[in-house]
Structure 1
Amino acid sequence: MLTSTVCAAVSAAGLGIAALTAYRRRFLAATRIAAFSLVPVGLVMTGVVDWIAGLVFKPMVWAGFGVLALSAVLFMIGRVAERHAVKAGGSRKERRAAARRQPAAVAPAASAPSLGAGAATGQPAARAKPKASAPQEDFSDIEAILKKHGI
């Protein structure tokens, strides 16, 4: 009942301001003010205000909002912890298990060119002859980057 009275007073004040604005020949602004001032009365007539007042003044409703907020905070904490665990590689046990599961290198001599020409075979570098049909490419900078990242 009190909320209905407050809404009616707000609407009456808004309509008064709209009348003053229209008196100053600002009809577009007066129309907008009148439209906004009729909203509280419309909400009272539809029963929305009583529903909102019942919602606001019940402690059980606020407890429900508190539980929902706690749930949202716990969800966010879980997401942050999950991202942190993935970024760090999981726990110590998980990292050890992952290291055990990793297969051995398929081509252990694949990084031999970074050691220098002929270092893997024990032959001097002067004897190594490139094929005339395929141009030689230098991947030493790429290999250095991969080694830097532990790959």
Structure 2
Amino acid sequence: MLAETICSAVSAAGLGIAAVTAYRKRFLAATRIAAYSLVPIALVLTGVVQWVSDIAFKPSVWLGFGLLGLAWLLFMTTRAIERRGVGTRKERRAAAQAAQRDAVAPAVSALSGSGVPALQPQAKPKPKQQATDAGEDFGDIEAILKKHGI
């Protein structure tokens, strides 16, 4: 009831301001002000104001909004945890075992004909070798650029 009265008063004041503006020969501005001032009374007549006031003053509605917010928060938290890759203990243990199997698989496939595994230590490239490899890569790039006249 109070909201309807306030909306009616705002509309009446807006129409009064529109009339004064039209009296000053500013018809475009007066029309715009009249349009804005008709919105509150239109909302009252359509029942939107009653609906909003029913929502705003009922605790059960706010409890419902709170529960919706909590559900959204829980959903987003689980999505964030899922994206980080942190799962349950079983999932982490299964991932670790799968990684271990992947590391052992090349050694098992390198079995010799006698059935004895031919484990050969893989030589890691020395830092000097990496530097020369990088230099060779740049040499190739330089050759290509020279070939095209750049």
Normalised TM-score (structure 1): 0.62
Which residue identity does 1:32 align to in structure 2? R
Q: Percent identity?
A: 58
State the aligned residue count.
114
Structure 1 segment 9-24 matched on structure 2, within 5 A: 9-24=9-24
Structure 1 segment 1-80 matched on structure 2, within 5 A: 1-80=1-80
Query: Aligned-pair RMSD on alpha carbons?
Result: 3.1
CA contact (8 A) 1:8 1:41 kept: yes
Match of 1:96?
96
Q: Partners in 2 of 1:64 and 1:101 — Cα distance? A: 50
Q: Partners in 1 of 2:23 and 2:75 — Cα distance? A: 56
Q: Partners in 1 of 2:22 and 2:102 — Cα distance? A: 79
Structure 1 segment 116-127 matched on structure 2, within 5 A: none
Q: What secondary structure does 1:102 align onto?
A: helix
Q: Partners in 1 of 2:50 and 2:65 — Cα distance? A: 19
Q: Partners in 1 of 2:53 and 2:101 — Cα distance? A: 61
Q: Partners in 2 of 1:91 and 1:71 — Cα distance? A: 25
Q: Partners in 2 of 1:98 and 1:28 — Cα distance? A: 74
C-alpha distance after superposition, 1:78-137 (max 9, x if no partner): 111111126xxx964243122134373489x9x98x68xxxxxxxxxxxxxxxxxxxxxx
Q: Partners in 2 of 1:4 and 1:20 — Cα distance? A: 25
Match of 2:146?
none
Normalised TM-score (structure 2): 0.62
Per residue, is there more helix in 1 or in 2?
2
Q: Any runs of at least 4 consecutive aligned residues in structure 1 with deviations exceeding 3 A, and if so which? A: none
Report deviation, 1:65. Answer: 0.3
Report deviation, 1:2. Answer: 1.5
Which residue identity does 2:48 align to in structure 1? V
